[in-house]
A and B are shown apart, each in its own frame.
Chain A
Amino acid sequence: MKINEVILQSIAKLVVFIILTLALYLFFSGHNAPGGGFIAGLVLASAIILLFLAFDMETVLKGIPLDFKMIAALGVFLAVSTGVGSILFDVPFLTHTIVAYDLPLLGMIELSTVTLFEAGVALTVVGVVITIILTISEDV
């Protein structure tokens, strides 16, 4: 292995870590500040793409043994399910609710269905972007 590559890969690892943190931040800040599921998803995707660039694709895929198409589908499922949930509770489709738990040690935890919804969005975005990139780059 060439020295250059080692350096590149080390840097990549670092950058990916930073990007992942950013993605997480963006995801949760969407509530009150710019951000949200979509952007977080795209940022997350770009982190993974960076990994592809730094390492070769196969290594990365070994490390993350996921079928990204399925991730995308899962995301849609999650997003739609939050809506279907409301049907079960007999409130209008896609009515969001906030559940607050007072957990020991962690204090108040707010769990909103919006978050679930946004998570679905983010997952779809990651899944789709990676699927497209992977499909094309495998083909070219």
Chain B
Amino acid sequence: MNNIIVLPLVIPILTGILLVFLHRHVKTQRWISIIATILNIVISFIILQKIHVEGILKLDFGGWAAPYGITFVADSFAVLLVLTANFVTALCLIYAMFSIGEKREKLFFYPFVHLLVAGVNGSFLTGDLFNLFVCFEVMLLASYALITHGGTRIQLRESIKYIVINVLSSSLFVIAIAYLYGSIGTLNLAHLSARIAESGQTPLLTAISLLFLIVFSIKSGLLLYQWLPGSYSAPPTAIAALFGALLTKVGVYALFRTFSLLFYHEPAVTHNLIGIMAAITLIGGSIGAIAYKNIRHIVAYNVVIAIGFILIGLAVSTQSAIEGSIYYLIHDMIIKALLFLLAGTMITLTRTSRFDQVSGLIRNYPVLGWLFFIAMLSLTGIPPFSGFIGKILVGYGAVETGHFLLLALGFISSLFVLYSLLRIFMNSFWGETMISEDQEAPLKKGLIIPCLILALATIALGVGAESIATYVSDAANTLLNPDIYIDAVLNK
């Protein structure tokens, strides 16, 4: 019995509900939050090990065999992401405890975070298309609650765009499911895959796949990322970090899943289109990142660039490119959380989000400065930090298949990443120190410790890439050979 694979979803839900009852007891909430998240990390790790030994795990809910019931499917790809997501969540939670304020904590901040994580984990693990929609909704509603949480003016204003666009994409998702169900007559991903393989991917199915592409592109910020910079600038740091690290990645996951498991028969249309979209995303993100002097915007456009880069891997779809994308996905979750937390900390300390209004911070806050420096290098893909392996593997895939334009854009975009962050670093951290030491706002340890851990993680992941190499190659292998997945779900 593989009931263990539902735990990454059930634990956060139960924790969230429990914390609703305990919403007045802030301290208890904090402890339970942390314990639950750590528990989840441990469980995901156990699942990962189990997959390594037993292959893909599946769980038919209620004992109703696929494709009739709903099935959870845990393969290496999904569980690696679950693991990373929970790790990042734990650190964002710690950061939040020191920054979010008791008022928010009493008004269900922790329940919302846990439910968000439940939605995220569910989206990674589910093997059913409609259930993916439902998991998305869990995640999205929690994100709506979080993005507006606190009700400041900018939050109220920007969240409208976020919510309206996401509601639109949800409706489109339902329509896309309707089409696919009408055509293929089933909802289970493995079953869908098997049936599509049987009938061939007709032009109509390709058209439907493009609707999925649009839906997931909105969620992941591929091409249709316009909602992202504004929305991610609105909420408090810890929430923004959580969003930046997790939400778009779920969309990316869905893109990888659908276009490697379901619609992989006509890459000339779909994958080339993804390539074009990735290229435009890279360009748009790159120029966006250097267009403004607002740190929040720069950070948000960096999210966009990463999405474009990861999707190169899918457009190319070779073993090494996919492996590279997976590495990069994991790396990006960690590093984006770090970047958002650091940027947020800077803004809290200096009370301005424009980098040209501050200088010489490194004298007052050396640790913060060096963490930012590390984050900058890691984001640029400088070895031995975590961005490197992903970058060369994706790049290698692009070279192998002759996608030189994508390769060039991908690599040039990392220069833009470097430059955009270098501007912040050189202007804000270097230069004459403006704040004297007795005037400086104290930097709470609770804020810097999560950042430190994340920085260590990016180093560890870079230097110790060998430790997850087998899981990643297994994940890529499953993505490239849908039969493994189908076999595990339908024939076990």
Contacts and interface: CB of A to CB of B under 8 A. Distances in A.
A adjacent to B, CB under 8 Å? yes
Interface of A: 69-70, 73, 76-77, 80, 83-84, 86-87, 90-96
B17 A73 contact: yes
Nearest to A70: B21
B20 A96 contact: no
Given A77-B14, A80-B13, 12 more contacts: A70-B21, A73-B21, A83-B10, A83-B61, A84-B10, A84-B14, A87-B3, A92-B1, A93-B6, A93-B59, A94-B61, A95-B61
B61 A80 contact: no
A92 to B, nearest CB: 5
Contacts of B63: 91-92, 95
Interface string B55-87: 000011111000000000000000000000000
A86 B1 CA distance: 11
A90 B2 CA distance: 9
A108 B59 CA distance: 33
Given A83-B10, A90-B1, A77 B60 contact: no
Interface of B: 1, 3, 6, 10, 13-14, 17, 20-21, 59-63
A73 B10 CA distance: 14
A76 B3 contact: no
A94 B62 contact: yes
A90 B4 CA distance: 10
A127 B314 CA distance: 44
A14 to B, nearest CB: 35
15 contacts: A76-B13, A77-B17, A80-B10, A80-B13, A80-B14, A80-B17, A84-B10, A92-B60, A93-B3, A93-B10, A93-B59, A93-B61, A93-B62, A94-B62, A95-B63
Contacts of A93: 3, 6, 10, 59, 61-62
A90 B17 contact: no
A77 to B, nearest CB: 5
Contacts of A96: 62
Contacts of B21: 70, 73
A92 B64 CA distance: 9
B3 A86 contact: yes
Contact of A73 (B1, B20, B60, B62): B20
A16 B61 CA distance: 38
A69, A76, A77, A94: residue with the most chain B Cβ atoms closer than 10 Å: A94
B14 A91 contact: no
Contacts of A90: 1, 3
B424 to A, nearest CB: 41
Contacts of B59: 92-93
A76 B10 CA distance: 11
A69 to B, nearest CB: 7
Nearest to A80: B13
Contacts of B6: 83, 87, 93
Contacts of A77: 14, 17
Contacts of B1: 90-92
B20, B59, B60: residue with the most chain A Cβ atoms closer than 10 Å: B20
A93 B13 CA distance: 14
Contact of B61 (A70, A73, A84, A92): A92
A76 B138 CA distance: 13
B86 to A, nearest CB: 19
Nearest to B23: A69
B64 to A, nearest CB: 8
A87 B61 CA distance: 11
A77, A93, A95: residue with the most chain B Cβ atoms closer than 10 Å: A93
Contacts of B62: 92-96
B107 to A, nearest CB: 11
B397 to A, nearest CB: 38
Given A84-B10, A90-B1, A92-B1, A76 B61 contact: no
B31 to A, nearest CB: 19
A69 B60 CA distance: 32
A31 to B, nearest CB: 16
Nearest to A87: B3
Contacts of B14: 77, 80, 84
Contacts of B3: 86-87, 90, 92-93
Contacts of A92: 1, 3, 59-63
Contacts of A73: 17, 20-21
B1, B17, B60, B63: residue with the most chain A Cβ atoms closer than 10 Å: B17
Nearest to A91: B63
B21, B59, B60, B62: residue with the most chain A Cβ atoms closer than 10 Å: B62
Contacts of A87: 3, 6
A91 B62 CA distance: 8
Nearest to A76: B17
B399 to A, nearest CB: 45
- Across chains A and B, which 6 residue pairs bring their CB atoms closest together, nearest first? A73-B20, A93-B6, A87-B3, A94-B61, A94-B62, A92-B63
B12 to A, nearest CB: 11
A93 B2 CA distance: 9
Contacts of A94: 61-62
B114 to A, nearest CB: 12
